[in-house]
Every structure is written in C-alpha cells, then in structure tokens.
Amino acid sequence: MDERHLVAIDIGTSKIALTVAKVEGDNVQIIYYRETPSAGIKYSRVINPSKASGAIRQAVGTAEKELGIRITDMVAGLPKYEVRQNLATLSVDRDADTCVSQEEINDIKGEAIKTYPLENKDSEMLFGAVAQSFGDDENIQIAENDVIGMAPERLESHFKVFVGQKKYVKDLNLAFHNAGDLHVIREYFTPDAIAKAVLYDFEMDNGVALVDLGAGVTSVSIYYGNIMRYYSAIPFGGSAITSDIKTECYITERLAENIKIAYGACLPEKLMSLSDKTLLINSNDAVPAKQVTVRYLSEIITARATEITEAILYEIQKSGFADRLRSGIVITGGGANLLNINNLIKDISGYNVRTGYPKHSFSTSEEAVNDTSAAACIGMILMAKSEKIDCSAQEQEMAEEQVPAANDSLQDSVKVNSIGDKNIDEPVLDDQGKGDLFPDDPADIPPKPQGGGRKTRKKEEGNEEETKKKTYTWKIGNLFNKVKEVVNEINDESI
C-alpha cells in the first residue's frame, strides 16, 4: 500500500498551525500538530510578507527539527475576508438524445471554474464555484441527483461563485517563498475545509450555520441540502476581545491574551462563585499591581461577544436561510473555547448551538489536534487526501515534469502568478464533484501513472465530437430570475 505524506498550514491573525500527516490508503495518521505565534497577518491575510515569512519559517523549522524531516511542499488556506459571492447561471446546449450523467455534471462544474467571466482578471481570482441547482426549459430548481438521467436540450446550472483578491494570494505565496523557498501546491478555501472536518452529513442536509470564530475574522457559512448556500466574513473576532481587556485593564496585549485564555468567560451571572474571585495583575515593576474581578472581566468579554453574535445573526438573516437551520449553529475555531460562548449565542439567537471539534476520521497521539483551533488544518488534510496529493518533494518534482507546458495562455487567465520556477495553482475540485469548491483543471492534471495517482478528466477521443457540440453561455445575476419571469407571465395572463 502506497504511503504519502501531507503537510497543511493554517495562517491566522494570531497563530500559525502546522500539521503533518501520513496517509496509507484510507487511513490518516496525524504525526505532528503545533501552533506558533504569527506575524504580519491581519484579517487572515498577509499584509507584511517579510514578517509573515519569519513566522512561517519558525513554524516549519520547529516541525523539521522535531520530526527530523525536510519540508518543502504543503497545502495552505486562502484568505477568508473580502471574499464576495455572485449568483450566476451557466447554460449548455446539449444532445437531447442522451441522458445527463454524473460525468457531464462534473464537466459542467469544471467548465464553471475555467470560464467564469471575472469583472477584473488583473486583480481578482476565483476561489470556488458551488452548483446550487439545475434547470431546463420547463423545470427549475432541480437537485443534482434529480437532474441525472434527464434529457434536456438545454441545461442550466445555477452557481454560487466566490471571488477573492489576487493580490492577497500573491502576498501569501511571496511569504512562503521568502520563508525558504517553500511551495504551496494547493490552496483551499478554508470554510469548505472546516466543514469537512467538523460537520456531519445530516447537519449539512437539514441546514446549519458553521461559524469559525477566529482571531481577526469570524466567518459564517450556511449549508442546506448538503450544499454551501452562503458565505460571509466579519472583520473582527477573538483579537477584539483581547484588545478590550488590554484597554480596560491597562495591561499589555500579551498579558490580556493570557488572561482571556485562563479566566475568560461569557455571561457573568452564570459563573457562580468564580465571578467573585479577584485577579492580581503585575504587568511590570514600574506600574502598581492591579486588581480585576473575574465578573468584571466577564462583563468586558460578554459585551464584545454579544456584538459578534449579533453580526453573525445579521449574516444568517441576510442569507435567506434563517428559518431552515434545523441543525442550528456549529461554532469552531479558537474562539469556540471561550467559556459559556455557546450559551450566549443560544440565548441571543434561539438556535441550538454545539461546539465543532474535528471528527474522529484519523488516528493521532497529538492531543492538541482534537481542539477546535485545529479544524482548518484537519479539513485541508482530508481534502488533500481525497485529491491524492503527496507533499514529499521528490513526488512533487516528478509530477511537475509531467505537466504539459502548452497551456501558457490558460495559465494567464486562471492561475495566480508563479513564484520562482513553480506555478501556484488556483483552488480545484476533487474528482467526485459532490458540490465541493475546487474542481481540478483538466488541462493541468498529469497523466495517471500505472497503479494509482490522481485521476484525469481528459475526454476519450470518441467523446471529442460530442464535446464540440456543446455551447456554454454565462448569465450573471439572480439565481431566481427564471422564477420571476414565470410569475410575471402568469400575472400578465391573469390581467
């Protein structure tokens, strides 16, 4: 059984989490997980590549020293903030004498990633596209499972498209390059990765809001019918709480963070005897010691946590799925460890709230990997496993030699600028096409080696003629324009 190694790194505002995993078949073993302080990061994006590279170098160096290995390639998460979403429809004229197959649906998803017309190709890039529903000339809002087997002349695929800033990804890659010529061989939109790590199928089917409580950004992802329906990011999180403690108690930010971790809690009225305790804070010899009660500390935290909760609920209402979240809210990320944060969100929202720990889909002796703050790394490991990625340098170099160089024009439009001699791929979908954000670009996948390797989606020669008959057309706009047109026609006939 072939053995592969995966390295995932989560670049956050307050910490860098690095995970190393060994994969044998379907078995995943986490052999390393550590968190180190970050630098040069704000709102989950690199704002100072030089400082960020130093923090990355420290995280990678610590792992190399402890494991006795050399790390050169890894998978990483894309920035979560300033990601806009569009509704768009991709129409294809097809042969009505053939039935729609799963392969055809997967091809349409891949075509969406390749051909979506960005408003500004110089500054924007596609983070992902999720198929929401399908339709034909007579039917609308058809689920993926139901459209397979139909035989329409024209098939419309409705997508939720996520667009981010290319500059932020370039700065991220620059930080890795300056950290010792490290190479990111796959970039993931982390909300989708986190969902794979902490959500269950029944939750995503019945409707759930996944809230990642990070230090600089709080993200909200809505799932319904096993599909991501909405995404948004709020530009504050746990760091805002730390800043409030620092300001109110006149102490350093580092000390404020340590106090928050050790004694931080929401809802002071529910702390019982703990709220009566007093903390004696000695920041330095020049400033007299301060006394702060745990109740007062909790009041500071509750005020900011309430603001974050209200922002989360605003996004849930904005999504249009507020009444469909039968599975409630799942909170994860470092902020989910705050005492009583579940109760606070439940009291304000009325939803059931649970803490999203990584599911037991791996073996490990690393206790820290079971914490909520490890969810992003675990999710990226699971996605990389499904795509049969290997982060060993030798394997990667062999794969690069097989990639054809005839797609330079395509790379200019759908890839991030390359750094050094390596091309940095945009996010891609796995081969299953189950509504994930990242389909592989068929032109960039090396041929499948004997006995394994990544699958290819290149057409058989016999299918080339059928492919040429298909005509793809984009329509940017509301997912329900078709519904409105039908309703207007009915009203006109009534009048």
pLDDT on residue 470: 66
Nearest to 233 by CA among 6, 447, 81, 412: 81
Lowest mean pLDDT among 44-53, 209-218, 313-322, 421-430: 421-430
Taking the alpha carbons at both ends of the chain, their separation in whole angstroms is 70
Please give the average per-residue pLDDT across 68-81, as a whole number: 94
Residue 211 near residue 219, CB atoms below 8 Å: yes
Please give the average per-residue pLDDT across 31-52, as a whole number: 95
Q: How confident is the model at residue 187 (pLDDT cuts 50, 70, 90)?
A: very high
Same domain, 394 and 419: yes
Same domain, 327 and 262: yes
Q: How confident is the model at residue 115 (pLDDT cuts 50, 70, 90)?
A: confident
Query: End of a domain among 355, 378, 407?
Result: 355
pLDDT on residue 1: 57
Please give the average per-residue pLDDT across 47-62, as a whole number: 96
Specify if 449 maps to a domain: no
Q: Under DSSP, is residue 85 helix (H, G, I), strand (E, B) or coil?
A: strand
Same domain, 10 and 97: no
Query: End of a domain among 355, 389, 418?
Result: 355
Question: Helix 294-319 to helix 238-249 angle, to the nearest 10 degrees?
Answer: 150
Contacts of 239 (CB under 8 A, 6+ apart): 13, 14, 215, 216
The C-alpha torsion from 138 through 141 and 145 to 150, rounded to 10°, is: 10
Same domain, 343 and 392: no
Q: Which residue has better confidence, 81 or 423?
A: 81
Specify if 349 maps to a domain: yes
Nearest to 216 by CA among 18, 82, 378, 49: 82
Q: How confident is the model at residue 114 (pLDDT cuts 50, 70, 90)?
A: confident
Nearest to 252 by CA among 222, 212, 226, 290: 290
Mean per-residue pLDDT of the chain: 83
Tell me the CB-side half-sphere exposure of residue 101, using CA atoms within 13 A: 6
Question: Tell me, what CATH number does 187's domain have?
Answer: 3.30.420.40
Specify if 94 maps to a domain: yes
Backbone angles phi, psi at 283, to 5 degrees: -80, -45
Q: How confident is the model at residue 491 (pLDDT cuts 50, 70, 90)?
A: low
Q: Please give the residue range of the domain that contains residue 317.
A: 201-355
pLDDT digits (tens, 9 = 90+) for 381-420: 999 999 999 997 544 444 444 444 433 433 333 333 333 3
* Total domains in the fold of the chain: 3
pLDDT digits (tens, 9 = 90+) for 239-282: 999 999 999 998 889 999 999 999 999 999 998 887 788 999 88
Same domain, 173 and 184: yes
Please give the average per-residue pLDDT across 424-451, as a whole number: 44
Residue 70 CB burial class (10 angstroms; 0-12, 13-18, ≥19)? exposed
Please give the average per-residue pLDDT across 160-180, as a whole number: 94
Cα 237 to Cα 218: distance, rounded to the nearest angstrom? 5
Cα 380 to Cα 13: distance, rounded to the nearest angstrom? 18
Residue 286 CB burial class (10 angstroms; 0-12, 13-18, ≥19)? exposed
Lowest mean pLDDT among 106-120, 192-206, 317-331: 106-120
Same domain, 189 and 205: no
pLDDT on residue 494: 52
Same domain, 67 and 99: no
pLDDT on residue 477: 66
Same domain, 307 and 338: yes
Lowest mean pLDDT among 137-146, 246-255, 304-313, 482-491: 482-491
Residue 439 DSSP code: P
Please give the average per-residue pLDDT across 436-456, as a whole number: 43
Does the structure show a pLDDT above 80 at 157? yes
Specify if 252 maps to a domain: yes
Nearest to 149 by CA among 130, 132, 134: 134
Nearest to 36 by CA among 54, 17, 21: 17
Q: How far is CA 364 from CA 33, 361, 369, in A?
A: 10, 10, 8
% of the chain residues with pLDDT over 70: 80
pLDDT digits (tens, 9 = 90+) for 338-370: 999 999 999 999 999 999 999 999 999 899 999
Please give the average per-residue pLDDT across 151-168, as a whole number: 93
Same domain, 7 and 56: yes
Contacts of 237 (CB under 8 A, 6+ apart): 13, 213, 214, 215, 216, 217, 218, 308, 333, 335
How remote is the C-alpha of 147 from its chain's centroid?
A: 27
pLDDT on residue 3: 87
pLDDT digits (tens, 9 = 90+) for 449-487: 444 444 444 444 445 444 445 677 777 765 445 445 544
Q: How far is CA 255 from CA 62, 261, 281, 290, 393, in A?
A: 24, 10, 9, 13, 40
In 3-state terms the chain splits into helix, strand, coil percentages (rounded to 5) of: 40, 25, 35
Residue 244 near residue 303, CB atoms below 8 Å: yes
Residue 151 DSSP code: -
pLDDT on residue 51: 96
Q: Which residue has the tokens 């997912």?
A: 479
Cα 148 to Cα 142: distance, rounded to the nearest angstrom? 10
Handedness of CA 440, 442, 445, 447 (dihedral sign): positive
Same domain, 467 and 487: yes
Residue 377 near residue 368, CB atoms below 8 Å: no
Does the structure show a pLDDT above 90 at 78? yes
pLDDT on residue 330: 98
pTM of the model: 0.79
How remote is the C-alpha of 198 from its chain's centroid?
A: 12
Which residues of 25-57 form beta strands (DSSP E)? 27-37, 41-42, 45-46
Does the structure show a pLDDT above 80 at 430? no
Same domain, 35 and 94: no
Same domain, 432 and 420: yes
Nearest-Å Rg of the Cα atoms of the chain is 24
Please give the average per-residue pLDDT across 179-201, as a whole number: 93
